[in-house]
């Protein structure tokens, strides 16, 4: 059975990707350092599978090198990263260590490994590296212009991977994806946070005026795209992965309210609460994903209307998921010490 390593596999995208890979009959080694956003609830469906193994390890550690040489994976999907913009505003150092230093160490280990064994590295990144896109959509040739410490750390890691491809000829591919949503996402992010507050009769915090626009893609569509990139993607290339569907935060919030009204009794405290915007908040992200659609014959299958219903139902049916998390991590607003006044 062919083996694949997924780093950060106890997180949101990683755990959904592992589920897909196991169903495609790969043996998956999940390497995760177990941070606040890692959740063992996320691997409960397959934790006892004969096609799965979990190993606690930071990609910065030499232990990671030993893991890949032992299991000899045909591919490494790198999803090990700090990802929350507000956290990066409070503590950029953690993002530098994980997203830049961690990737540097991974590249050094993979460089040595790929000299001896046939393999690929798929480095998963974000549309945030492009910065504000007020008009049109960004192709893979668009320059990077990150706004937050998080986006800057991901941009740096992308450049490192690309440099190692050119300089050391490592077999790596970079993907940049739009905003994911779906099951198993930590509620520091917008959609699961809104769902948590709806279920628990709490106000719905919306930054600024709610006009910030994001391109939303259902996580399982993203995972299918990553599998396509692994199978058919060209070494050294960048691939944008998006839905071509933009909604601002108010539109997302209203969609969730409309769905929830049909499924549960809304409490009297479930109301939209506009709060002070985060520092440096980008207005709009938007990707041009024509390259992956044309070259790799991929396109998203789940509409936002369908996906948001699936997402709400998953959290409503899996209330135990929230109980595995610290309430502080769910409710506390981060990045607020840089605001002029507190609104939470």
Please give the full DSSP string across 76-110, using - where no structure is assigned: EEE------HHHHHH-HHHHIIIIIIHHHHHHHHH
Contact between 258 and 193 (Cβ < 8 Å): no
Residue 318 lies in a domain: no
Residue 256 lies in a domain: no
Q: Which residue has the tokens 């480095």?
A: 123
Residue 118 lies in a domain: yes
Residue 17 lies in a domain: yes
Q: Which residue has the tokens 């320059």?
A: 143
Structural domain boundaries enclosing 108: 3-182+217-241
What is the layout of strands, in order, in the sheet containing 120-126?
52-56, 27-32, 3-7, 75-78, 120-126, 172-177, 238-241
- pLDDT given at position 224: 98
Global confidence as pTM: 0.95
Residue 71 lies in a domain: yes
CATH number for position 155: 3.40.50.720
User: What is the rounded CA–CA span in Å between residue 82 and residue 99?
Assistant: 7
3-state class of 191 per DSSP?
Answer: helix
- pLDDT given at position 337: 62
Given 52, 113, 150, 239, the catalytic residue: 150
- pLDDT given at position 330: 76
Active site residue 128: yes
Helix segments in 200-338, DSSP class H: 219-232, 249-263, 290-295, 304-317, 319-323, 327-331
- pLDDT given at position 333: 65
User: What is the rounded CA–CA span in Å between residue 249 and residue 209?
Assistant: 9
Given 19, 128, 221, 224, the catalytic residue: 128
User: What is the rounded CA–CA span in Å between residue 286 and residue 272?
Assistant: 25
User: What is the rounded CA–CA span in Å between residue 124 and residue 122?
Assistant: 6
- Closest C-alpha among 344, 277, 328, 225 to residue 86: 277
Neighbour count for residue 313 (Cβ, 10 Å): 14
99: which residues sit within 8 A by CB, 6+ positions away?
81, 82, 150, 153, 154, 156, 157
- pLDDT given at position 335: 59
When divided into structural domains, the chain yields a total of 1
User: What is the rounded CA–CA span in Å between residue 140 and residue 239?
Assistant: 7
Residue 169 lies in a domain: yes
The one-character DSSP state at 298 is -
User: What is the rounded CA–CA span in Å between residue 268 and residue 149?
Assistant: 37
Residue 306 lies in a domain: no
User: What is the rounded CA–CA span in Å between residue 157 and residue 163?
Assistant: 10
- pLDDT given at position 341: 47
Model pLDDT for residues 122-144, shown as the tens digit of each residue: 999 999 999 999 999 999 999 99
- pLDDT given at position 343: 41
Residue 195 lies in a domain: no
**pLDDT tens sequence for the chain (344 residues):** 999 999 999 999 999 999 999 999 999 999 999 999 999 999 999 999 999 999 999 999 999 999 999 999 999 999 999 999 999 999 999 999 999 999 999 999 999 999 999 999 999 999 999 999 999 999 999 999 999 999 999 999 999 999 999 999 999 999 999 999 999 999 999 999 999 999 999 999 999 999 999 999 999 999 999 999 999 999 999 999 999 999 999 999 999 999 999 999 989 999 999 999 999 999 999 999 999 999 999 999 999 999 999 999 999 999 999 999 877 677 666 656 655 544 43
Active site residue 127: yes
Active site residue 221: no
């Amino acid at each position: 059975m062919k083996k694949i390593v997924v780093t950060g596999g106890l997180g949101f995208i990683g755990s959904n990707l592992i589920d897909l890979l196991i169903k495609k009959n790969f043996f998956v080694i999940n390497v995760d350092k177990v941070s606040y956003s890692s959740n063992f609830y996320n691997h409960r469906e397959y934790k006892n599978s004969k096609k799965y193994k979990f190993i606690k390890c930071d990609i910065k550690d030499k232990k990671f090198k030993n893991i890949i040489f032992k299991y000899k994976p045909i591919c490494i999907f790198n999803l090990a990263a700090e990802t929350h913009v507000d956290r990066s505003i409070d503590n950029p150092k953690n993002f530098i260590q994980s997203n830049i230093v961690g990737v540097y160490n991974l590249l050094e280990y993979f460089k040595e490994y790929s000299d001896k064994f046939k393999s690929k590295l798929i480095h998963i990144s974000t549309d945030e590296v492009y910065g504000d896109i007020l008009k049109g959509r960004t192709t893979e040739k668009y320059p990077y212009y990150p706004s937050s410490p998080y986006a800057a750390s991901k941009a740096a890691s992308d450049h490192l991977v690309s440099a190692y491809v050119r300089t050391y000829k490592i077999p790596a591919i970079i993907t940049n994806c739009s905003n994911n949503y779906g099951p198993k996402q930590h509620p520091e992010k917008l959609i699961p946070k809104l769902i948590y507050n709806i279920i628990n009769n709490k106000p719905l915090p919306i930054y600024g005026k709610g006009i910030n626009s994001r391109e939303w893609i259902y996580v399982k569509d993203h995972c299918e795209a990553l599998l396509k990139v692994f199978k058919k993607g060209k070494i050294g290339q960048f691939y944008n992965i998006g839905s071509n569907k933009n909604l601002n935060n108010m539109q997302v919030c209203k969609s969730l309210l409309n769905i929830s009204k049909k499924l549960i009794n809304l409490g009297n405290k479930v109301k939209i609460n506009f709060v002070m915007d985060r520092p440096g908040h980008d207005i709009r992200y938007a990707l041009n994903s024509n390259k992956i659609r044309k070259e790799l014959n991929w396109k998203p299958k789940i509409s936002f209307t369908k996906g948001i219903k699936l997402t709400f139902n998953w959290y409503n049916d899996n209330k135990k998921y929230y109980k595995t998390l610290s309430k502080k991590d769910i409710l506390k607003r981060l990045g607020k010490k840089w605001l002029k006044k507190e609104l939470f």
